[in-house]
Amino acid sequence: MENFKIEVDGDGIALVTFDVPGRSMNTLTASVIREIGEVVETLKSDAAIKGAVITSGKTTGFCAGADLGELGGAEGGFGSGDLKAAFDAGFALNKAFRALETGGKPIAAAINGLAMGGGLEMTLACHYRVVADSPKIQLSLPEAKVGLLPGGGGTQRLTRLMGVMAAAPFLLEGKSMKPAEALGFKVVHEVVPADQVVEAAKTWVKTKGDAVAPWDKKDFKIPGGGPYTASGSQVFIMGNAMLRKQTYGNYPAQLNIMKAVYEGLQVPFDAAIRIETRYFLKTLMSPQAKGMIRTLFLSLQELGKGSGRPAGVPHYDVKKVAVLGAGMMGAGIAYVQAMAGIETVLIDQTQEAADKGKGYAEGLVKKAVSRGKMTQEKGEAILALIHPTADYASVKGSDLVVEAVFENRDVKAEVTRKAEAQLADTAIFGSNTSTLPITGLAKASVRPASFIGIHFFSPVDKMGLVELIMGQETSQEALAKSIDYVLKIKKTPIVVNDSRGFYTSRCFGTFVQEGMELLSDGYAPAIIDNVGRATGMPRGPLEMHDDVALDLSYKIAQQTKKDLGDKYEERPFTTIIEKMVEGEGRYGRKNGKGFYDYPESGPKVLWKGLSDLAPVRIAEVDKVGIEEIRTRLLYRQAVEAARCFEEGVITDPREADVGAILGWGFAPWTGGPISLIDGLGAAEFVKACDALAQKHGARFSPPQLLRDMAAKGETFYGRFGAKERAAA
Ligand code: NAD
């Protein structure tokens, strides 16, 4: 065996050390699954072995679960069309774990690090679990987060250990538990200091060792009752309704998890795991799982390792950064930098304004300390890294500058000049503008090759994406250095070329605009936002418009009109916004007045006056109509993303999909707008867009690129698949 080492001690207890060669972390590869069978055979056949303890030989953790690269790539051989073969392949893990569980000898898991997915499922198939006492250890079944279903008995064992209600968030949302929580839930039996896990596990095997799982005993009862009991059935009735409310039926994984649990809990365990495998396969083969695994796991991981970084530029260790502007964005940027150990100079016009910006980090740190998530000393060390000042001389020695002053060309030009006067030639200047083209801003710079857009999202401490924007003169070296910075502050970078709204704001804008089109078409606002949410977007387009601020979108529209001149297409909804902003002073959520009213207490309510500005003409919408609204909202964004490819604004499908989901919350079940088009097929998408264009206008017209792809049967991932960026 290459993945497991077995050593039998004087008491006849076998220590099985799980250690996949050549990998920093244990994962359940096909060879591991095969060898679990061999481990079971060894334990069974050697009479000298009384029981076993399974632990990990890695310092990184116990096991991170299935190899999603293997699963997601070739669908793990499951997609061959031969259902029997697919079932056998899918059932292999369940079969191996069940053999471990029913081998007749007591087995304890000594969990000395994180156990996720199939890793946790392996321990659940052991008869006893001891876990190291460390708050860093996460125990979780995160499959649902990437559109999958735990397929190694997790849906059956966790529910039989915890009860359906308690297990639901761990199965459906992939929530993780810390050792102490797991003990409370009776998912593990002991929490001991890290250096004692193996000993404690051995002691159990030696003194109490019980080789029969609770669910294989006659008197077993599901905690809280199974689906056939009065209390248990309530969980499913309510659970189904809640699931529908949260997912709108967009996520097969969550629905299939519910089904596997409901059906599995009514039959003996061996039948239950076969049911689980069927739902596992059904989920795995869904286009949603394919898109989600690729974007939310594989691509995210690749981009998180800097896969888009130009080769040939030495690693740039950013140690000191000056942040210009200590407003909402600057304050958040200063905080994430300090969290990453970067010395930060936070500059504003006055010392008072700069101090106020640091106050944001102080608030977050205080909260973390009071909740026991951070020690006082650590908190103080982080805050000591932020130096608020009004003095540009302190920019000196910075490896990078992030400019986050007012969205005004002149103000930005002035601070660029002031900061650059202090900078070394090797330093990078990044602008966090949300709308102003980088090439134009770089005109104020004496070193435009080192000038780049570093576009953060609000709130900075929560949003994981950073959009890097290449100006006409930005060098590959500046890009590589900026990527190193983004990775250091633990965000995911995507790289785009200069264009109005760049990539994320441009595509997101179309969602908000289509909401306005629907409004001016005469659809009821409640229908627009409800269907908007049902597409899988985080909120409806009108709600999101309120969040962005109506006056801002009005200002941007005015500016765009000025910049585009004759090319600007006036839309009927423009007057609605104009009247709301200019006539009614309704700026959105920020002043409590937008499409909705935001009372001091209680939920928001639609503004009554809206029906005068946008009279409802289509009050009743049938299923076909709902589908059309849904398609308009989603395809409008996807066709814009395709245009961004045609114009070279974005060049990598992974970045387009990851950027969409992380940046503006594009419906995650699709795997992103590009996966949505690829999944549908370019020809089908073009056909749908042509029909929408005929009915609603040229904004839906597919770009020539899509027509070419449709003619050739190409996909974005095929045509624009992962490419190396040119060396500097
Ligand atoms: P803000 O108004 O909260 O903060 C701007 C800060 O810059 C203020 O504190 C102001 O005093 C300071 N400032 C102005 N002139 C200065 C100068 N000469 N020297 C030093 N400081 C100066 O604005 P914000 O929301 O933080 O936005 C800042 C930038 O980030 C803008 O370019 C904006 O477009 C961009 N942005 C904003 C968001 C967002 O969601 N708010 C998202 C991405 C990017």
The per-residue pLDDT for 500 is 83
User: Residue type for 9, please?
Assistant: D
Instruction: Give 660-709 as a 3 state SS string.
Output: HHHHHCCCHHHCCHHHHHHHHCHHHHHHHHHHHHHHHCHHHCCCHHHHHH
The per-residue pLDDT for 7 is 97
- Burial code (b: 16+ CB inside 10 Å, e: under 16) for 347-383 equals bbeeeebbbbbbebbbebbeebbeeeebeeeebeebb
Separation in Å, CA 412 to CA 417, 419, 444, 456, 527: 9, 11, 8, 16, 41
Cα(519) to centroid(ligand 1), Å: 32
Angle at 212 between CA 206 and CA 218, to 5 degrees: 140
Q: Which domains does the chain have, with CATH numbers?
A: 4-285 (3.90.226.10), 320-499 (3.40.50.720), 504-622 (1.10.1040.50)
Q: Is the CB of 353 under 6 A from ligand 1?
A: yes
Q: 652-680, pLDDT tens digit by residue? A: 999 999 999 999 999 999 999 999 999 99
The average confidence (pLDDT) of the chain is: 94
**Angle (deg, nearest 10), helices 673-680 and 623-646:** 110
Low pLDDT (below 50) residues in the chain: 73-76, 726-728
- 492 burial (CB, 10 Å; 0-12 / 13-18 / 19+) is buried
For residue 219 the two structure tokens come to: 């008197």
CA 425/CA 418 separation, integer angstroms: 15
In the block, tokens 């099985």 appear at 16
Q: Tell which atom from ligand 1 comes closest to the C-alpha of 433.
A: 32
The per-residue pLDDT for 536 is 97
Cα(452) to centroid(ligand 1), Å: 17
Q: Is the CB of 709 under 6 A from ligand 1?
A: no
Q: Is the CB of 404 under 6 A from ligand 1?
A: yes
Torsion-angle region of 223 (φ positive above 0: left; ψ -120 to 50: alpha; else: beta): beta
Which long-range contacts does 433-436 make (Cβ < 8 Å, 24+ apart)?
Answer: 433/403, 433/407, 434/407, 434/505, 435/407, 435/500, 435/501, 435/505, 435/556, 435/559, 436/407, 436/409, 436/412
CA 399/CA 315 separation, integer angstroms: 13
How many residues make up the chain in this entry? 728
315 labelled catalytic = no
Q: Is the CB of 246 under 6 A from ligand 1?
A: no
- 400 burial (CB, 10 Å; 0-12 / 13-18 / 19+) is buried
The per-residue pLDDT for 74 is 45
Q: Tell which atom from ligand 1 comes closest to the C-alpha of 331.
A: 26
**Could you give the 3-state DSSP secondary structure of residue 141?**
coil
Q: 197-212, pLDDT tens digit by residue? A: 999 999 999 999 999 9
Cα(491) to centroid(ligand 1), Å: 20
